[in-house]
Amino acid sequence: MRKTVSIARLTSSLVCLALVACGTNEEGDVAGSGPSTTTDTSAVTSCTVAPGSQIGTFTDPDTVTPITPPNPPGMSLRDTTGALVNAHGGGIIKVCDTFYLHGEYFLSTTTDNNFNGFSMYSSKDFATWKNEGIILPQQASGQLGPNRKGERPHIIKCPATGEFVLLAHAADTTYQVDKEVVYATSPTVNGKYAFKGSLTNASGTTASHSDMSALTDGNSAYVITESGWVYTLASDCHSWVSAKQYSAVNGTSGGIEAPTIFKSGSTYYWLGSSKTGWRANDDFYSTAPAITGPWTYQGFVAPKGDLTWMTQVTWVMPVVGSKGTVNVFWGDHWYGDQDTTAPGKHNYLATYVFQPLIFTGTKISLPTYKVSWKLDVGAGTWN
């Protein structure tokens, strides 16, 4: 069983300056995302967060020195009602001043890890999470119906339309049959997503992969998958128009999984893990001047043998403030991730590892494990 962490949450107040039309109205719609209209400034709030007004504190229950596998145990995040946060293997999207964490929802009553829905939580300080509920439930039948796998949900805001698009992968219970990228849509980030089906090109060809991620970059949107594939999405983000494989990002692993890309400065970073199922391994990364490459393998994220501090990467969230940017690494510490016989059987108890990535020039690393640290969202700094 995982130890329960005590996470200190500092009470903070949001500074709203009512200056910029980037907030949300009472219905949750993103202000400024629709057609141009006369703006009622009394209904608009600012997306600016003042330094020091939103401080997230993260504390891991690890008590062992030095920290080596099977430690650290990771944080058992709890929501504002005291219940365990249950959203894993997903992503985070920021809308105005709020972060929306979304992921796989695991039942406590089963051990098969079949699809039971994608869940969402919201936070302004990255540490205090409100349960937004199940945003895409199990469907009555079909790709995300009973006795199916549904994993790696990632939400993007489509650059051309402003629509929120959730992309994930679906498969049969073996993970190998009928595996493909699927999508769902919502007019609001925390609304109920309508399942649309397979992500295909104009000819009806699916993106037949397992682990995947999605992101936007300027006016473009992409899905990236295991084994180094990049799918460029159509302008409405409902289909793909081109696909190319970049084998360099596989490194020496023979095939990358849990892929995620983020950008810092003019450099793109592609992180992922080896294909060891629910068991932790040494995650690695590659860099490029553009998503379309050329990609160059760089090596491990954390010291070799520490198994990326007992996690598998799922997302890196740039927290941009007035004084800098903290790129927060989110890794899943899957339940029983050292078990060689039956790991991942109780993933509703999976814990979280949030760590600030360290930059040395264009190199990134997690050289040591921060047992306790604080994030100033408004400043974009940590200590």
Specify the pLDDT at position 20.
32
Q: According to the model, what pLDDT value does residue 37 have?
A: 37
Whether 22 is covered by a domain: the verdict is: no
The answer to whether residue 40 scores a pLDDT higher than 60 is no
Whole-number Å distance between alpha carbons of 344 and 335: 5
Task: For 205-221, write each residue's pLDDT tens digit.
Answer: 999 999 999 999 999 99
Report the pLDDT averaged over residues 339-354.
90
What is the spatial distance between Cα 324 and Cα 310, in angstroms, rounded to a whole number? 28
Number of structural domains the chain divides into: 1
Q: What is the band of 44 on the pLDDT scale with cuts at 50, 70, 90?
A: low
Say whether pLDDT at 31 is over 50: no
Return the bridge partners of 231, or none.
Answer: 223, 243
228, part of any domain: yes
> In sequence order, which residues have a C-beta less than 8 Å from that of residue 126 and are 6 or more positions away?
54, 56, 99, 317, 319, 328, 354, 375, 377
Confidence of residue 25 (pLDDT cuts 50, 70, 90): very low
For residue 27, being part of any structural domain is answered with no
**pLDDT attached to residue 331:** 98
Residue 212 CA from chain centroid, whole number: 11
Q: Name which of 321, 262, 309 is nearest 288 in CA terms.
A: 262
The answer to whether the beta carbons of residues 190 and 159 sit under 8 Å apart is: no
Dist. CA 2–CA 333, nearest whole Å: 10
Cβ pair 280, 337 in contact under 8 A:
yes
Provide the token pair at 235. Answer: 């302008």
Which pLDDT score, from 0 to 100, does residue 152 have?
97
Q: Give a yes or no: residue 9 inside a domain.
A: no
d(CA 226, CA 88): 18
Give the pLDDT of residue 312.
97
Q: How many whole angstroms separate alpha carbon 231 and alpha carbon 182?
A: 13
User: For residue 128, what is the domain's CATH number?
Assistant: 2.115.10.20
Q: Is residue 215 part of a domain?
A: yes
**Residue 363 structure tokens:** 């190199």
Residue written as token pair 């608009």 = 44
Residue 95 pLDDT more than 80?
A: yes
Give dist(CA 291, CA 277) in Å, integer: 26
Residue 257 is part of which domain span? 41-382
- Mean pLDDT over 335-361 rounds to 91
pLDDT band at 48 (very low <50, low <70, confident <90, very high): very high
Structure tokens at 211: 């682990």
Distance of alpha carbon 207 from the chain centroid? 20
Q: How far is residue 123's CA from residue 186's CA, in Å, rounded to a whole number?
A: 20
Q: Is 364 a member of any domain?
A: yes
pLDDT at 90: 98
Q: State percent of the chain over pLDDT 70.
A: 88
